[in-house]
């Protein structure tokens, strides 16, 4: 892998196993996620593509708690190319000078190679960030020898199946389900019906132009029972160059009531590929202006970090607030496209500080599914409040395979925490009034129902939960859950107070609608003040859960000899309950998220105790370790963890990138850099910067959006520079304690 600032380049061809890298080269725009598959003459599953549209799901295989299952659909392949040279279909042999490149600046993925020493090929593609329904594809065929007879089809191909979510390395992808139940093939357009319960319709259309040495050349319309498009039969002389430029569009009955008409309109309109591309680049420029991070270093970290941010932006919906970002974004079928706490705790902070409107949409998704969360709480016998499902479909419905989802209640804390986080950074009180307060009240009610007062010890307890550490048994009083819940309750009280005093009419309406009365608040305060957490006074050690310390030590080296997860190394799940073993940052993450509640001594104690007991069997684990380690001045240990984050998918360290890359970790990379190494925090209009850069870094430059202002920050070994780009800035900046 080569890193050149804005580009990541791989020249490994690895034909037999190339799909392992496909997810890594995903481009997208929040509507589309397009894996880096090979569009030309792909064989079987490998050639199926991997193009997902946010929220477009079909019938699934896995059993969900509710019995209904669904999975992301691999939609019709709008990039399909059939290409032969002198009658020979190009294939994976006779390939030389191969490389594939991700240009993050313009969000273009391209591949080049020479085939059979006769033609130089280049395929590039992008997802239009200006009009998210569109994608662009460019194909260049340059003849290296005399008289090459080229036969090229530029197609939309409905002959696809899913890639199968259970595919994992080193296995190649195993074909999954064909979700298309009905196909209507038109001229350069198709209409497909999916096998989901709504019988969602997808329309795809394309405009193709061809040029030889810059001059337009005509093609022939082509269609068969499954594909449609243009065919170009051309003879190229040495050095002749055939260029195909294609813009395709996809509309769906899910989002666009007039999807069919919009498709027709697209076909009627003149489309200029270059203009579309330029518009997309311009949009990306805006995003990068707000989001880019520059690291001055002789490592590849600068590019690697950029990659993390790039994929986050590719996955973030801009067209709707009816979907959110799944654990694997739109890059693979693992977790069926579902949304977890990953979004609120790991991905959201990047958006909060670089694209607040996007952050608001992601939170609005939770508001849009609040009614489902209320319903779920009732199903779980809770008379009030809302319980968001752990693994949630775009419809807000629980998709966890077992019933275990309903123990992972920290999700409620995570959502409330994210609301506070967003409002704090954006100053978007309107969100709080129109949506946030209602969510916060329902979550506070959830905690009220979920905590039990013990006459025995006088404390409240949150019983029967699973914290972030999913290798524990079902436990009581998980510190992460209880601390976060207490903060939620206090914040709900504050927001209810603010609403009543500042927005009395809205307060009254809301209170009436959800039957809220002020007397509830008293109980919330009482719970928040008296939630039990295990604590070892001597060691200043917060207990992940009170009985953690009484379990057996676990021999990680022996039972996790490789990067494979423990469960795949022969230890059954239930077995883990015996041990002091933490799957992923739990108490360590807590101290990252609520740094002011713990002393340095406690942070250090927690890190030093839990870190050796943590097996990092989740991609959510490295970032909090980097983050907390940097805050307790273990800078180089922090940097080692940071490397795990920044290169996690690039180096396929989890051995499962084939099924999708890890979006929580992308956000984690950003947080460990910004909150960890740069020591940035923002609260109540005050931005604090207290950096501890790793040895290898000379400086970091970045922009943050706070309360509508664009703050430019430069951190270097020599010092900190930070200023607002707004006139009349209301933000106070404290650098290493100085204003």
| ∠ Cα 478 479 480 (to 5°) | 95
Least separation in angstroms between CB 533 and a copy of itself: 14
CB of 97 to a copy of itself, least distance (A): 51
**Closer by beta carbon to a copy of itself, 381 or else 727:** 381
Q: Which two tokens stand for residue 343?
A: 């979004």
Tokens of 18: 């190339």
Between β-strands 686-689 and 732-735, what pairing exists: parallel, antiparallel or unpaired? parallel
> For the CA atoms of 227, 229, 233, 237, what is the dihedral angle to 10 degrees?
-120
CA distance 657 to 660: 5
Kindly state the smallest distance separating residue 555's Cβ from a copy of itself, in Å: 9
| Angstrom distances, CA of residue 517 to CA of 448, 500, 508 | 14, 11, 10
Distance of CA 587 to CAs 534, 542, 598, 640, Å?
A: 11, 7, 11, 20
**Number of helices and strands (H, E) in the chain?**
18, 32
- Residue 500 CB neighbours (<10 A): 17
Question: Residue 375 or residue 551: which is nearer to a copy of itself going by CB?
Answer: 551
| Residues 703, 353 contacting (CB under 8 angstroms) | no
Contact predicate 603/628, CB 8 Å: yes
* Paired tokens of 593: 């998220």
Extract the runs of DSSP E, i.e. beta strands, from 104-240: 108-115, 119-127, 134-143, 148-157, 180-186, 189-194, 201-212, 215-217, 220-223, 227-236
Nearer to a copy of itself, 29 or 482 (CB): 482
**Shortest distance in whole angstroms from residue 736 CB to a copy of itself:** 39
Strands (E) located in 503-656: 535-536, 541-542
Place of tokens 């037999």: 16
Select 3 or 549, whichever has its Cβ closest to a copy of itself: 549
Minimum CB distance to a copy of itself smaller for 564 or for 573: 573
Which residues on neighbouring strands pair with residue 40, listed in sequence order? 81
Least Cα distance to 78 among 15, 161, 137, 23 occurs for 137
Q: How distant is the alpha carbon of residue 651 from its chain centre?
A: 18
Q: Which residue has the tokens 């550490």?
A: 469
Query: And the tokens for 649?
Result: 């998918």
* Shortest Cβ 13–a copy of itself spacing (Å): 41
> Whole-number minimum distance, CB 391 to a copy of itself, in Å?
15
- Separation in Å, CA 285 to CA 104, 130, 371, 380, 721: 10, 11, 38, 47, 24
Bridge partner residues of 157 (DSSP): 77, 227
Which residue, 473 or 561, has its beta carbon nearer to a copy of itself? Answer: 473
Q: How far is the CB of 458 from a copy of itself (least distance, A)?
A: 12
d(CA 89, CA 40): 9
Looking at the Cβ atoms of 384 and 493, the one nearer to a copy of itself is 384
Tell me the C-alpha distance between 49 and 77, whole Å.
6
Residue 634 tokens read as: 């273990």
Q: How far apart are CA 355 and CA 509, in angstroms?
A: 31
Find the shortest distance in angstroms from Cβ 578 to a copy of itself.
5
Q: Which is nearer to a copy of itself, 411 or 632 (CB)?
A: 411
Q: CA gyration radius for the chain?
A: 26
Which CB, 126 or 407, lies closer to a copy of itself?
407
CA-based nearest residue to 623, from 659, 675, 574, 660 = 675
Of 456 and 519, which CB lies nearer to a copy of itself in the complex structure? Answer: 456
Query: What's the min distance (Å) between Cβ of 490 and a copy of itself?
Result: 23
Q: How many CB atoms lie within 10 A of CB 239?
A: 11
How far apart CA 371 and CA 388 sit, in angstroms, is 9
Q: Which is nearer to a copy of itself, 290 or 404 (CB)?
A: 404
CB of residue 608 vs a copy of itself: minimum separation in angstroms?
A: 17
Nearest residue to 232 via CA among 134, 330, 139: 139
CB of 476 to a copy of itself, least distance (A): 5
CB of 580 to a copy of itself, least distance (A): 10
CB of 5 to a copy of itself, least distance (A): 50
CA angle at 201 for the pair 199 and 207, rounded to the nearest 5°: 165
CB of 656 to a copy of itself, least distance (A): 24
β partners of residue 193? 182, 201
- Asked if 481 and 467 touch (Cβ cutoff 8 Å), the reply is yes
The residue (of 458 and 737) whose beta carbon lies closer to a copy of itself is 458
Give the residue with the Cβ less far from a copy of itself, 221 or 463: 463
Which residues, in sequence order, are CB contacts of 320 under 8 Å at separation 6+?
54, 55, 255, 361
- 409 token code pair: 């209640």
Residue 533 Cα distances to 180, 501, 546, 599, angstroms: 51, 34, 7, 16
| Nearest distance, CB of residue 527 and a copy of itself, angstroms | 14
Residue with smaller CB distance to a copy of itself, 509 or 573: 573
Task: Identify which of residues 571 and 651 has a Cβ nearer to a copy of itself in the complex.
Answer: 571
Positions that interact with a copy of itself (CB under 8 A): 380-381, 402-404, 406-407, 452, 454-456, 461, 463-464, 473-474, 476, 536, 547, 549-552, 572-575, 577-578
Count CB-CB contacts under 10 A for residue 718: 9
What is the spatial distance between Cα 420 and Cα 593, in angstroms, rounded to a whole number? 12
Rounded to a whole number of angstroms, the minimum distance from the CB of residue 467 to a copy of itself is 14
| Minimum CB distance to a copy of itself smaller for 373 or for 425 | 373
Between 58 and 389, CB nearer to a copy of itself? 389
Cβ at position 560, least distance to a copy of itself in Å: 14
> Measured from the CB atom, is 404 or 498 closer to a copy of itself?
404
What does the alpha-carbon distance between residue 539 and residue 121 come to, in Å, rounded to a whole number? Answer: 64
Beta strands at 220-223 and 227-236: parallel, antiparallel or unpaired: antiparallel
CB 607 → a copy of itself: shortest distance, Å? 20
């Amino acid at each position: 892998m080569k890193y050149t600032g804005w580009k990541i380049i791989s020249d490994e061809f690895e034909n037999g196993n190339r799909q392992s890298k496909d997810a890594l080269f995903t481009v997208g725009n929040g509507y589309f996620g397009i894996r880096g598959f090979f569009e030309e003459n792909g064989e079987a599953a490998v050639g199926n593509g991997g193009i997902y549209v946010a929220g477009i799901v079909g019938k699934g295989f896995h059993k969900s708690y509710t019995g209904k299952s669904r999975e992301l659909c691999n939609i019709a392949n709008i990039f399909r190319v059939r290409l032969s040279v002198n009658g020979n279909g190009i294939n994976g042999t006779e390939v030389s000078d191969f490389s594939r490149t991700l240009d993050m600046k313009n969000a273009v993925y391209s591949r080049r190679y020479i085939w059979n020493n006769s033609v130089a090929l280049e395929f590039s593609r992008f997802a239009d960030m200006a009009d998210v329904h569109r994608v662009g594809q460019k194909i260049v065929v340059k003849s290296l020898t005399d008289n090459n007879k080229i036969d090229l089809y530029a197609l939309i191909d409905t002959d696809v199946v899913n890639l199968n979510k259970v595919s994992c390395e080193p296995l190649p992808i195993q074909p999954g389900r064909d979700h298309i139940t009905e196909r209507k093939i038109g001229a350069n357009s198709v209409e497909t019906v999916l096998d989901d319960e709504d019988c969602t319709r997808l329309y795809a259309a394309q405009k193709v132009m061809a040029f030889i040495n810059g001059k337009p050349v005509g093609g022939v319309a082509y269609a068969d029972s499954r594909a449609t498009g243009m065919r170009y039969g051309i003879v190229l002389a040495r050095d002749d160059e055939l260029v195909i430029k294609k813009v395709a569009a996809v509309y769906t009955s899910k989002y666009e009531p007039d999807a069919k008409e919009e498709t027709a309109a697209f076909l009627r309109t003149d489309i200029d590929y270059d203009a579309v591309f330029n518009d997309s680049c311009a949009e990306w420029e805006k995003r990068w202006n707000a989001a880019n991070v520059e690291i001055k270093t002789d490592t590849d970290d600068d590019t690697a970090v950029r990659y993390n941010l790039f994929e986050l932006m590719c996955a973030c919906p801009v067209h709707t607030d009816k979907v959110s970002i799944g654990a694997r974004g739109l890059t693979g079928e693992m977790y069926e496209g579902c949304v977890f706490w990953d979004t609120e705790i790991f991905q959201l902070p990047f958006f909060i500080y670089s694209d607040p409107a996007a952050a608001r949409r992601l939170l609005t998704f939770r508001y849009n599914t609040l009614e489902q969360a209320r319903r779920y709480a009732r199903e779980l016998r809770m008379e009030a409040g809302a319980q968001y499902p752990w693994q949630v479909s775009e419809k807000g419905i629980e998709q966890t395979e077992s019933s275990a989802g309903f123990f992972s209640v920290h999700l409620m804390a995570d959502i409330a925490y994210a609301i506070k986080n967003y409002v704090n950074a954006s100053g978007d009180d309107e969100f709080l009034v129109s949506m946030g307060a209602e969510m916060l009240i329902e979550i506070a009610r959830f905690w009220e129902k979920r905590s039990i007062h013990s006459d025995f010890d006088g404390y409240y307890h949150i019983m029967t939960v699973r914290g972030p550490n999913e290798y524990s048994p079902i436990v009581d009083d998980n510190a992460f859950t209880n601390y976060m819940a207490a903060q939620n309750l206090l914040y709900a009280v504050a927001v209810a107070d603010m609403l009543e005093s500042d927005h009395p009419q809205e307060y009254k309406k809301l209170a009436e609608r959800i039957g809220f009365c002020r007397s509830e608040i008293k109980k919330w305060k009482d719970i928040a003040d008296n939630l039990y957490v295990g604590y070892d006074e001597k060691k200043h050690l917060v207990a992940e859960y009170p009985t953690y310390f009484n379990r057996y030590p676990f021999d990680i080296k022996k039972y996790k000899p490789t990067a494979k997860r423990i469960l795949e190394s022969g230890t059954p799940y239930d077995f883990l309950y015996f041990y002091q073993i933490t799957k992923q940052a739990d108490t360590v993450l807590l101290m990252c998220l609520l740094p002011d509640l713990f002393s340095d001594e406690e942070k250090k104690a927690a890190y030093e105790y839990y870190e050796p007991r943590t097996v990092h069997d989740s991609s959510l684990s490295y970032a909090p370790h980097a983050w907390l380690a940097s805050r307790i001045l273990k800078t180089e240990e922090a940097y080692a963890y940071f490397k795990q984050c920044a290169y996690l998918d690039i180096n396929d360290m989890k051995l499962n990138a084939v099924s999708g890359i890890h979006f929580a970790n992308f956000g984690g990379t950003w947080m460990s850099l910004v909150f960890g190494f740069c020591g940035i925090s923002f609260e109540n209009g005050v931005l604090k910067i207290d950096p501890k850069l790793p040895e290898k870094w000379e400086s970091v430059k970045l922009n943050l959006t706070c309360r509508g202002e664009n703050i430019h920050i430069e951190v270097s070994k020599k010092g900190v520079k930070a200023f607002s780009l707004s006139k009349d800035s209301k933000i106070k900046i404290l650098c290493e304690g100085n204003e």
